[in-house]
C-alpha cells in the first residue's frame, strides 16, 4: 500500500533506488514489492527504469450514498446530453454506477444501466481523434503535465501549436462542446480552447504548478458561461414581458442577478457580466418577450438582429404589425 501511494504521488514514476530510499528498504525488497504490485495494478517501467502506475487503467475505490450516486448520474446524464460526440468513458461510468446499486436500489440501478446502453447506441459522432485529445488533456490536468497540442482556428483558418497547461475542463451548452481552460507556455492570461477544434494533443514530461482554485473561480464568477475578462463586469439590464416573467423568476440565471417586479406584470432583470456578448443567444431565445435596456452595445446588437430578421423575411413595419395581430 505504501508503494501504491508513493507511485500515485509521483506521476513521472520513480527509480528503484528512489523507492528504496523513500521506503527505507533494500532494493531487492523493492523489486519484490514491484513484482507483487504488478499483479494487482497496471504498472509501467519507462525510460531510465522509472516505475509508475498507468493512470488510464487504474481503478479508484469510492463509497457513495444513494443520493450521492444519483447526483453523479444526473451530472453524467447532463454531460452526455449536452455534447455531440460519443464518450465511452461516460457510458462505462454509468454502467459501473448502475451495477453498484443493484443490491439495494435495483429500480434506479436498472434505469442507470439502461441509460449507459442509450449513450452507447445514440447517434452521436464516433471520433477517435477527439477521444484521444480528451484523454491527453485529462491526463495532463490530473498529472500536472504540459500538453503539446495543435488547435484549429475557425476564424483564421489556421492551425496554432500551443504547449498548454490545463487548469480545468468544463462542458458548455453553447455548441454542445467541452472546453479546456488553461495557460499556454509563454503567456500570462488564461485561454479557452474548444476541445473538438484541437487536431492533435501529445502529453509531455514537462510539469507545471496549477493555479489555485480561487484564481479560476474569480476568473469565471462574473462570466455568463466561460467567457471571462480582466476588465470590470458590465451591468446587463433586461425587461421581460408578463408572459414569461414567472419563468424568468423561477430560475437563478446568474449569481449576481437582481430581479425587480414592474407594473403590468413586467419584470426587470439585472446582472453584472464579464462579456455580455456571450449572453446573446440566450437573450435572442426569448424573442419579443425581452427588451435589452443596457449596455448600449448589447441593445444595438439586438436592434441590428431585428433589422436583419425583417430583411430576411421581407417584412416591412406594416407587415410586422399585421402578423402580430
**In angstroms, rounded to a whole number, what is the distance separating the alpha carbons of residues 174 and 172?**
6
**In angstroms, rounded to a whole number, what is the distance separating the alpha carbons of residues 203 and 171?**
22
User: Which value, to the nearest 10 degrees, does the dihedral of the CA atoms of residues 92, 96, 102, 105 take?
Assistant: -90
Residues 104-153 pLDDT 10s: 899 999 999 999 998 888 767 788 999 999 999 999 999 999 999 999 98
Confidence of residue 318 (pLDDT cuts 50, 70, 90): low
Q: From the options 1.10.10.10, 1.20.5.510, 3.10.180.10, 1.20.120.1760, give the CATH code of 2-57.
A: 1.10.10.10
Looking at residues 145-164, what average pLDDT do you find? 92
Task: Centre a 10 Å sphere on the Cβ of residue 96 and count the other Cβ atoms it contains.
Answer: 14
- Which of the 8 DSSP states describes residue 14? B
C-alpha cell at 190: 488564461
169 Rama class: left (phi>0) / alpha (psi -120 to 50) / beta: beta
Please provide the average confidence, as pLDDT, over all residues in the chain: 90
Side by side, the strands of the sheet bearing 234-240 are 258-261, 267-273, 234-240, 290-294
Minimum mean pLDDT range among 13-22, 150-159, 239-248: 150-159
**In angstroms, rounded to a whole number, what is the distance separating the alpha carbons of residues 77 and 12?**
33
Give the C-alpha distances (Å, rounded to integers) separating 214 from 143, 163, 167, 217, 234: 20, 23, 12, 5, 21
Task: Centre a 10 Å sphere on the Cβ of residue 86 and count the other Cβ atoms it contains.
Answer: 20
Give the global pTM: 0.79
Distance of CA 98 to the CA centre of its chain: 23
Looking at residues 260-285, what average pLDDT do you find? 94
Question: May I ask the CATH class of domain 128-220?
Answer: mainly beta
| Residues in CB range of 171: below 8 A, 6 or more apart | 78, 79, 82, 83, 177, 178, 179
Label the pairing between strands 267-273 and 177-184: unpaired
Confidence of residue 317 (pLDDT cuts 50, 70, 90): low
276: helix, coil or strand? Answer: helix
Residues 10-47 pLDDT 10s: 888 899 999 999 999 998 999 999 999 999 999 999 87
**In angstroms, rounded to a whole number, what is the distance separating the alpha carbons of residues 36 and 59?**
17
pLDDT higher than 90, residue 73: yes
Give the C-alpha distances (Å, rounded to integers) separating 239 from 27, 177, 248, 269, 281: 73, 30, 10, 6, 16
Residues 211-222 pLDDT 10s: 887 777 777 888
Q: Where are the domains of the chain?
A: 2-57, 66-121, 128-220, 234-324
Instruction: Give me the helices (H) in the chain, please.
Output: 2-9, 16-23, 27-38, 66-81, 88-100, 106-121, 128-143, 213-220, 245-249, 280-285, 296-312, 317-324
* Range 1-19 burial, b when 16+ CB lie within 10 A, else e: eebeebbeebbebbebebb
- Which of the 8 DSSP states describes residue 271? E
pLDDT given for residue 324 in this prediction:
45
CATH of domain 234-324: 3.30.70
Amino acid at each position: 500500500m505504501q508503494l501504491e501511494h508513493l507511485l500515485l504521488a509521483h506521476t513521472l514514476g520513480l527509480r528503484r533506488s528512489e523507492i528504496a530510499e523513500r521506503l527505507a528498504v533494500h532494493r531487492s525488497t523493492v523489486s519484490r514489492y514491484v513484482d507483487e504490485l504488478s499483479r494487482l495494478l497496471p504498472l509501467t517501467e519507462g525510460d531510465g527504469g522509472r516505475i509508475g502506475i498507468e493512470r488510464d487503467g487504474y481503478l479508484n475505490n469510492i463509497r457513495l450514498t444513494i443520493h450521492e450516486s444519483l447526483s453523479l448520474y444526473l451530472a453524467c446524464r447532463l454531460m452526455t446530453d449536452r455534447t455531440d460526440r460519443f464518450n465511452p468513458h461516460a457510458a462505462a461510468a454509468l454502467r459501473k454506477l448502475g451495477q453498484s446499486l443493484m443490491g439495494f436500489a435495483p429500480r434506479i440501478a436498472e434505469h442507470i444501466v439502461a441509460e449507459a446502453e442509450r449513450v452507447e447506441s445514440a447517434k452521436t459522432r464516433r471520433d477517435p481523434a477527439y477521444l484521444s485529445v480528451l484523454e491527453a488533456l485529462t491526463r495532463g490536468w490530473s498529472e500536472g503535465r504540459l500538453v503539446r497540442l495543435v488547435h484549429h482556428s475557425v476564424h483564421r483558418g489556421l492551425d496554432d501549436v500551443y504547449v498548454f497547461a490545463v487548469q480545468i475542463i468544463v462542458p458548455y451548452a453553447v455548441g454542445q462542446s467541452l472546453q479546456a481552460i488553461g495557460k499556454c507556455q509563454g503567456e500570462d492570461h488564461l485561454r479557452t480552447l474548444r476541445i473538438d477544434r484541437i487536431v492533435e494533443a501529445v502529453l509531455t514530461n514537462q510539469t507545471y504548478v496549477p493555479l489555485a482554485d480561487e484564481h479560476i473561480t474569480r476568473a469565471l464568477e462574473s462570466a455568463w458561461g466561460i467567457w471571462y475578462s480582466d476588465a470590470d463586469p458590465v451591468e446587463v439590464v433586461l425587461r421581460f414581458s408578463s408572459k414569461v416573467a414567472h419563468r424568468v423568476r423561477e430560475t437563478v440565471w446568474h449569481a449576481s442577478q437582481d430581479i425587480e417586479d414592474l407594473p403590468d406584470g413586467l419584470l426587470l432583470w439585472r446582472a453584472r457580466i464579464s462579456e455580455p456578448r456571450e449572453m446573446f443567444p440566450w437573450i435572442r431565445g426569448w424573442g419579443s418577450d425581452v427588451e435589452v435596456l443596457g449596455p448600449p452595445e448589447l441593445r444595438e446588437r439586438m436592434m441590428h438582429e431585428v433589422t436583419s430578421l425583417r430583411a430576411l423575411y421581407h417584412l416591412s413595419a406594416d407587415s410586422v404589425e399585421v402578423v402580430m395581430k
